[in-house]
Amino acid sequence: MKKPIIKLSTLLLLSTLLAACGDDGDTGPQGPAGPQGEAGADGADGQDGQDGVNGNSAVYIVTLTNLTHAQPLAPAAIILHESGYHAFSEGEAASMGIEVMAEGGNPSMVIDEAMASTDFLDAQNTGNILAPRMGSDVFTLVVPDLDADDLRLTVTTMLVNTNDAFTGLNAADVSNMSVGETKTFMTVTWDAGTEANTETATSIPGPAAGAAGGGGEAAGYDPARDDLADVVRLHSGVITNANAMDPSREGLATSILAEAHRFDFPTSRIAITRTR
């Protein structure tokens, strides 16, 4: 009997079919993690961006000019704010900040009161006396550009040869100014209504009282309100000692002020320019 002869090609085909039909073996356990690779080198530093100038802000400069003949102006409060804030209101009692500023010349509390308002944006204390017929330094204020469409300017400063007179602006509208635009305002003088206008050397802090042996800080702010009106109103002007002995004419014998200390309206000029 002859033995069967199986070709090599047939054996290879059977081997392939058996491998395909067989069960997969179980996956073995995962081997341990390899060591962590070394950190790559630090990347190069990025290039610094160009320095911005106040970012997305509107920038304004403000100047004051004293138009009086012999009334120095105390340091001023310059405030930018939205329309909901007013430093004072005609016919209403002055705030403590206005009283202190109008009697003693210190504007710090006016700024503090403004900063307590939700409408406050920026402020400057000019810090120096402004002599008669002189212009001030330039003061810069910055507000968010988005607030430039509802913007108000308030300025308050004392006439120091008076009891409680002050001048400035009360929420002047400076909205929507274009870059390079300037607005100019002429100001009147207000009576704070907190101190009687006695015009004596012991009640006025300015140089006129100093020349008469009084004045100075001791003659500034007095917490007692002895003005019968006790409301902010337009100032009627100082009386002075001129004509004091003539009953037919206006005069105040106790006054240490002379005719040179009188003031007319306008009392000052305030200019604001948008620079950015």
pLDDT of residue 194: 98
Domain that includes residue 212, residue range? 57-274
pLDDT of residue 189: 98
Mean pLDDT of the chain: 87
44 vs 265, residue with greater confidence: 265
Task: Confirm whether 104 is domain-assigned.
Answer: yes
pLDDT of residue 249: 72
Task: Confirm whether 28 is domain-assigned.
Answer: no
Task: Confirm whether 2 is domain-assigned.
Answer: no
Task: Confirm whether 128 is domain-assigned.
Answer: yes
pLDDT band at 33, cuts 50/70/90?
low
Kindly report, residue by residue over 235-275, the tens digit of the pLDDT: 999 999 998 877 767 789 889 999 999 998 999 999 999 99
Task: Confirm whether 228 is domain-assigned.
Answer: yes
Give a three-class secondary structure readout of the chain: CCCCCCCHHHHHHHHHHHHHHCCCCCCCCCCCCCCCCCCCCCCCCCCCCCCCCCCCEEEEEEEEEECCCCCCECCCEEEEECCCCCCCCCCCCCCHHHHHHHHHCCCHHHHHHHHCCCCEEEEEECCCCECCCCECCCEEEEEEHHHCCCCEEEEEEEECCCCCEEEEEEEEECCCCCCCCEEEEEECEEECCCCCCCCCCCCCCCHHHHHCCCCCHHHCCCCCCCCCCCCCEECCCCCCCCCCCCCCCCCCCCCCCCHHHCCCCCCEEEEEEECC
Task: Confirm whether 12 is domain-assigned.
Answer: no
Task: Confirm whether 270 is domain-assigned.
Answer: yes
Task: Confirm whether 269 is domain-assigned.
Answer: yes
Kindly report, residue by residue over 135-192, the tens digit of the pLDDT: 999 999 999 999 999 999 999 999 999 999 999 999 999 999 999 999 999 999 999 9
How many structural domains does the chain have?
1
What CATH number is attached to the domain comprising 253?
2.60.40.2130
pLDDT of residue 104: 97
pLDDT of residue 40: 62
pLDDT of residue 50: 42
